[in-house]
Amino acid sequence: MVLKKAKRLWDRVKNGANQLSNEESPQSELKIVPRDNHPISRKDISSPALKVLYRLNNANYQAYLVGGGVRDLLLGLHPKDFDIATDAHPEEVHGLFKNSRLIGRRFKLVHVLFGREVIEVATFRGHHEAPALSANQSTSSEHGMLLRDNVYGTMEEDALRRDFTVNALYYCVKDFTIYDYANGLEDIEKRELRLIGDPETRYREDPVRMLRAVRFATKLDFTIAPDTEKPIFELSSLLGNIPAARLFDEVLKLMLSGKALKTFRMLRHYNLFGQLFPATERSLKQGPERYLKLVEQALINTDERIKQRKPVTPAFLYASLLWPALEERWEKNKSSGTPPFPALQQAAQKVINIQCKSTSIPKRFSLNMKEMWEMQLRLPRRNGNKAAQLVAHPRFRASYDFLLLREQSGEDLNGLGQWWTDYQASDENAQRKMSNSAREHGPRPKRRKRRPTGNSRSSTH
């Protein structure tokens, strides 16, 4: 329905665009689409974004809505956020809004804060080919990666510095027109993602654009244009040059978008997943089939929760994505004689340390992940009053969900998930009976004989 509406409006856009060839620069052909010929209405734009646009315009600066805000409205979707581009410098923007802060090193930006809504205001960027003279200007690394990009420029230059053509559309709130420098409107109609400029150069400048290609392809249901797609397979390893903290943020954007399963499959297709989760990728290739089932089921569940507007936590996501690598290492530790619990703890620490080299994991999440993993060993031990204690544990719910996930992926845990499901649905009396008759899962560990001298290692349970 939304798509049909967008299609009808598109016919109007096509027929109504004024083409102006830009004499000053032969790089782009500007199309200006008047209000009557496109579907964007001010009522679709959040009032904080409108306020920022108006205040910048009233202070005699140029200001446009740009990026995902324009793209998504043209596609009949609800934008996640609204980004604004202006010719005002960051300090000038900051001076206009008390409720703003200057952020970023690589890209200096201003965030204008309205309660929970953040409007990102970026100053038009210029070309970066000029030799870098100071820290304020563009610099690039030996791999062709842009380290800083704070050279300011014109609106046209800004458009051509953006990643995909469909992200380089500008909406003007003064006359309600859309400015299209890079043929983005046509690509929206074709539902195609196309990098602006030479794809390989653009990926080298910023390898995260490869992840963005996948994210937008799944989010928008677009295809990636052949020229834009081709270099990804060979350049995926450039992600190794990106700071781990930035990649953590990108993983969350990729996996918490509501299209995690599709995204995961596409990332693997382009050899990108292995760059983000190298240990998991190895286990998926070498390990049993149920590893892939577990990861995919976790992503299916994540997508479902997002659809139902239920909360999803990065800790659960990461605990699932790293489980195959964790289990393999745990088994290895056990088979070299370490008792199960310390074997699990050591494996957890190792897997997290290795992962943090690719994508960092903030402490608050890694602590929760470890607890969820350790609970997998504690959940089978539910006799006496242990079950009641476990249910009261702050990580019980997530750990129980994780247990179900393991069973869903084909791991045989002797009906443990069902036992916990029944336990939670029972009254106190029935719970006591269940606990009294609960047999611990699997054979009891043999008691270790006390060594005659000190220095004995003891397992924690």
Q: Should residue 299 be labelled a site residue for ligand ATP when binding is judged by CB under 6 A?
A: no
Q: Should residue 68 be labelled a site residue for ligand ATP when binding is judged by CB under 6 A?
A: yes
Of 109 and 434, the one with the shorter C-beta distance to ligand ATP is 109
Q: Should residue 206 be labelled a site residue for ligand ATP when binding is judged by CB under 6 A?
A: yes
The residue with its CB nearest to ligand ATP is: 68
Closest CA to 261 of 320, 308, 313, 319: 320
Q: Distance from first CA to last CA of the chain, Å, rounded? A: 58
C-alpha to C-alpha distance for 69 and 209, rounded to whole angstroms? 18
| Residues whose CB is less than 8 angstroms from the CB of residue 93 and which lie 6 or more positions away in sequence, other chains included | 56, 86, 100, 110, 112, 121, 123
C-alpha to C-alpha distance for 160 and 394, rounded to whole angstroms? 50
Of 145 and 391, the one with the shorter C-beta distance to ligand ATP is 145
Q: Residue 184 binds which entry of ligand ATP, Mg ion, none, with Cβ cut-offs from 5 to 8 Å by kind?
A: none
For 357, other C-beta atoms within 10 Å of its C-beta total 11
C-alpha to C-alpha distance for 383 and 405, rounded to whole angstroms? 23
Examine the residue annotation and report whether 163 is marked as an active-site residue of this protein.
yes
Closest CA to 214 of 193, 183, 186, 191: 193
Q: Residue 364 binds which entry of ligand ATP, Mg ion, none, with Cβ cut-offs from 5 to 8 Å by kind?
A: none
Q: Should residue 162 be labelled a site residue for ligand ATP when binding is judged by CB under 6 A?
A: yes
Which is catalytic among the residues 72, 87, 149, 163?
Answer: 163
Residue with token string 């709130």: 173
Q: State which H helix or E strand residue 210 sits in.
A: helix 208-220
Examine the residue annotation and report whether 83 is marked as an active-site residue of this protein.
yes
Q: Should residue 186 be labelled a site residue for ligand ATP when binding is judged by CB under 6 A?
A: no
Number of chain positions touching ligand ATP (CB under 6 A): 12
Q: Should residue 200 be labelled a site residue for ligand ATP when binding is judged by CB under 6 A?
A: no
* Shortest reach from residue 353's CB to ligand ATP, in Å: 28
Q: Residue 390 binds which entry of Mg ion, ligand ATP, none, with Cβ cut-offs from 5 to 8 Å by kind?
A: none
C-alpha to C-alpha distance for 282 and 304, rounded to whole angstroms? 27
Of 81 and 411, the one with the shorter C-beta distance to Mg ion is 81
Binding test (CB under 6 A) with ligand ATP, winner from 52, 83, 180, 242: 83
Residue with token string 């997998």: 376
Examine the residue annotation and report whether 81 is marked as an active-site residue of this protein.
yes
Residues annotated as catalytic (active site), given as ranges: 81, 83, 163
Positions that interact with ligand ATP (CB under 6 A): 67-68, 80-81, 83, 162-163, 167-168, 206, 208-209
